[in-house]
Amino acid sequence: MANPIGKWHEEHVYFQRLLGVLRHEVDQLAVGATPNYGLMLDVLGYLRDYSDQVHHPREDAVFAIVAERSPEHRKAIARLQQEHRVIVSHGGRLRTLLEEAAADAMVLRAEIEVAAATYLVYYGNHLAAEEEEILPLARRLLSDEDWQQAKTAATLRPDPLLGPQPEARFRDLRRRIAVEAA
């Protein structure tokens, strides 16, 4: 089987870059400028539609196997699973606020800043914990069959941002991430 840990890590790197793009736009609010709400919505759209529906279910399948084989890590895994739910909830709230702001509805900047800060901190810390705690365990504990089982825990579909043919709405976002990574 192809390197599933490498793929998982690669997705985390892109998620961090996306969070950086989102953070940059939130910083625009902090200095009184108008952020690019469309770009912010694209970042959230990708993270909510792909990460929450494909990446996280696969991780949850890996978490279950790791918890079974390494009971001393069950609390850490339970926390990470809880964080998946928090990320979904706060991502939904942030998306709603951004959609309202993009439609010129009256939304307090502070509301967007608080929702974005919560989302960014939770997501960033979550990725770091997975990289430090779970990826090394998964590398050691999972077989090729386990990885195949985890891969089928979510609907198989091409990644709309990282795949060979990104969806049209994500092409500019992919270019921006590539430029910032260089």
Q: So where are the chain's domains?
A: 4-181
Class of domain 4-181: mainly alpha
- Identify whether the C-beta of residue 32 lies closer than 8 Å to the C-beta of residue 118: no
Main-chain phi, psi angles of 12, to 5 degrees: -60, -40
**pTM of this prediction?**
0.90
Q: For residues 56 and 181, give the distance between their C-alpha atoms in angstroms, rounded to a whole number.
A: 24
Inter-axis angle of helices 4-30 and 109-129, to 10 degrees? 160
Structural Rg of the chain based on CA atoms: 17
Chain segment 69-97, per-residue pLDDT in tens: 999 999 999 999 999 999 999 999 999 99
